[in-house]
Structure 1
Amino acid sequence: MLGILPLKEAIEKAEDQGLDLVEVSPNAKPPVCKIIEYGKFKYAAQKKAAEARKKQKTVEVKEIKFRPNIDTNDYEIKMRSVRKFINAGDKVKITMRFRGREMTHQDIGVKVLRRIREDLDTTVKIEQFPKLEGRQMVQVFAPNISDKVNNKSEKRPTPEKD
């Protein structure tokens, strides 16, 4: 730790030691620099960036297809998988497929989508409202982030004081 030095003096000290003067945080007042080997600094920065990329979770969009005249048991099974995807942190795309004359009764499909929305209630936020795309109606749900934060805070054990 050398403290605050003029730029020329810091460069001279770095050259005397046979190292480089590397600016670590340019936005700080005064800017923070280190006297280290530049190659090692770049290598450490690359490793840190790779580790950050590794820890990132990619959000996938899972698709589940429904039909307007779905039976209650089939509905429950599909809803179980929707909940599983939402709890895993993935977005869910609900596709309501219409065949033949079912296109004239789109209101039945809208009712099923409304029922799905009511069953999921507060665990999701609606990312895309029901939209007709050709012969299918699509709605996208995303996990409710604030709900996940609340669940994590509840799971943490509080230290007990005697």
Structure 2
Amino acid sequence: MIQRPPGRISKVQLWGNQGEDAIARRPHAAQPPKKEGPRINRDIRVPRVLLIDETGEKQGIMPTEAALEAAEQAGLDLVEVSPNADPPVCKIVDYGKLKYQDQKKKAEAKKKQKTVEIKEIKMRPNIDIHDYQVKTKAMHRFFEAGDKVKVTLRFRGREMAHQNRGMDIMNRVKEDFDEVAKVEFEPKLEGRLMVMVMAPR
């Protein structure tokens, strides 16, 4: 039996053990990471752009190369601000400063965003003056923080026969907070609970 000399090892990997039916596969090349933010300077590869100079004046449509030269002469960057326009709109700005201002705006907007919570204040039909003042002081804090308040008044046993007392308390709360809060959910009896929801104005 004639032995064949060992062949050279190919760089192409053979996957599986199917002889002639084996499929040769090359490893996929990793995709280059996508850049975030607008295209700037030499990354702008369209033939023409509508240029806005560093003073905010429109300079009209011109070749991208001419716009790049204008940005270089000003010592600034050419930034694509409206990529979907025809032709795209580019502006001459300090990109580092623009990026910083954008980040600052986003941080401020995030700080202003607040999840509105519903705080619950529990009362009784025969609540005393001191306890009422403590509860309303807490409600003031909640409204100042931008939260809604759910006032719940529980009736026990024979107290169900005096639901008008509960309504009197709810009306008193509405009057006391009329300047700072509005009623979103009018007082309503749910089983043994009378419920009202108020939101800051």
Instruction: Provide TM-score, normalisation by structure 1.
Output: 0.63
Structure 1 residue aligned with 2:80 = 22
Is the partner of 1:121 in helix, strand or coil?
coil
CA deviations 1:76-129 (Å, max 9, x no partner) are: 221222223233433222111223343343222111111222223323222221
Q: 1 or 2, which has the higher helix percentage? A: 1
For residues 27-38 of structure 1, the aligned pairs below 5 Å read 33-35=90-92
Deviation at 1:136, TM superposition (A): 1.5
Structure 1 residue aligned with 2:170 = 113
CA deviations 1:51-71 (Å, max 9, x no partner) are: 311233443322111111212
Contact 2:78 2:90 in 1 (8 A): no
Contact 1:14 1:21 in 2 (8 A): no
CA distance change for structure 1 residues 51 and 12 in 2, over 3 Å: closer, same or farther? same
| Bigger Rg, which one | 2
CA distance change for structure 1 residues 39 and 83 in 2, over 3 Å: closer, same or farther? closer
Where structure 1 has 5 or more consecutive residues not aligned to the other structure, the ranges are 145-162
Alpha-carbon RMSD across the aligned residues, in angstroms, is: 3.4
148, 152, 162: which is aligned to 1:91?
A: 148
Contact 1:22 1:35 in 2 (8 A): no
For residues 67-78 of structure 1, the aligned pairs below 5 Å read 67-78=124-135
Percent identical among aligned pairs is: 53
Number of aligned pairs? Answer: 138
Instruction: Provide TM-score, normalisation by structure 2.
Output: 0.53
Is the partner of 1:69 in helix, strand or coil?
coil
Name the amino acid aligned to 2:116: V
Structure 1 residue aligned with 2:102 = 45
CA distance change for structure 1 residues 35 and 65 in 2, over 3 Å: closer, same or farther? same
Name the amino acid aligned to 2:141: K
Structure 1 residue aligned with 2:194 = 137
Structure 1 residue aligned with 2:9 = none
Where structure 2 has 5 or more consecutive residues not aligned to the other structure, the ranges are 1-52
Alpha-carbon distance in 1 for matches of 2:179, 2:167 = 19
Alpha-carbon distance in 2 for matches of 1:130, 1:35 = 59
CA distance change for structure 1 residues 47 and 13 in 2, over 3 Å: closer, same or farther? farther
